[in-house]
């Protein structure tokens, strides 16, 4: 169990460190910024690489909504849910703290400000309201669970699941960043909100409930949809 928990910790660490790091350091870098496309790819590639690296040890969840969805789908034991979520949140927060320390070495740094936090209303990149963000996060997390369950089913081609999952997460971020800054992962949202609070951006922590509620609901719905329509495919 220790190896499994450490795999989830480091997998989520890498997801937050590489992806949020890309958003903070490279998204709008002078003249050569990677933009939404680059940040979306960073999220997808971080999950894909760690799914290959440690997915065989822990299953490569790196996301409380994924762990909950897989449990509901009957692919994950309920007794392991709390340890997985604790490891995922801890890995994300530690990664965010490392990013914060690195930023502190930059001249005129503000510590990353809101730290790529997720938000709605005036804190949505595109100014989308609470209901819009709720629907987007539920739908996208639900689809993510369907992608994961389908890609890892016995009927799917062997060895390609991390690629499908990583590209699926990339696509999700391309559509969702303008709406909510793309969560679909409560651990990633918590990590950013913690540092945003340190930087005086308390709104991120105040709105964090949304980015636990919506992904967990979405993960649950995705798992139920899979079980209802396609579970016999396995």
- Position 155 scores a pLDDT of 86
Interacting residues of 88 by C-beta distance below 8 A, sequence separation 6+? 8, 9, 12, 61, 62, 63, 64, 67, 187
Q: What angle do CA 50, 186, 17 make, to 5 degrees?
A: 40
| One CATH from 1.10.3720.10, 3.60.21.10, 3.40.30.10, 1.20.1080.10 for 2-233 | 1.20.1080.10
Q: What is the pLDDT of residues 108-122, one digit of tens each?
A: 778 888 999 999 999
pLDDT at 70 over 60: yes
Please name the residue that has the structure tokens 């190896």: 3
Domain boundaries, the chain: 2-233
User: Cα–chain-centroid distance for residue 114?
Assistant: 17
Confidence of residue 34 (pLDDT cuts 50, 70, 90): confident
pLDDT at 28 over 80: no
pLDDT at 233 over 60: no
Sign of CA dihedral 198, 203, 204, 210: positive
């Amino acid at each position: 169990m220790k190896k499994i928990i450490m795999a989830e910790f480091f997998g989520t660490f890498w997801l937050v460190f590489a992806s949020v790091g890309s958003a903070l350091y490279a998204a709008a870098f002078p003249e050569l910024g990677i933009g939404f496309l680059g940040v979306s790819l960073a999220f997808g590639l971080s999950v894909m690489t760690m799914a290959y690296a440690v997915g065989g040890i822990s299953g490569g969840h790196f996301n409380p909504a994924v762990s909950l969805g897989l449990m509901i789908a009957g692919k994950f034991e309920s007794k392991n849910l709390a340890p997985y979520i604790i490891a995922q949140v801890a890995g994300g927060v530690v990664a965010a703290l490392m990013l914060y320390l690195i930023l502190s070495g930059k001249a005129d740094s503000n510590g990353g400000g809101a730290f790529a936090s997720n938000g709605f209303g005036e804190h949505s990149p595109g100014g989308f309201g609470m209901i819009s963000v709720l629907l987007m996060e539920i739908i996208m997390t639900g689809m993510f669970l369907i992608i994961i369950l389908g890609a890892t089913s016995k009927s799917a081609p062997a060895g390609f699941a991390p690629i499908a999952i990583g590209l699926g997460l990339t696509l999700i971020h391309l559509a969702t960043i303008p709406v909510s800054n793309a969560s679909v992962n409560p651990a990633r949202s918590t990590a950013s909100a913690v540092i945003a609070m340190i930087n005086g951006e308390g709104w991120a922590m105040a709105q964090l409930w949304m980015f636990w509620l919506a992904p967990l609901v979405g993960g649950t719905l995705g798992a139920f949809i899979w079980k209802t329509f396609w579970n016999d495919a396995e």
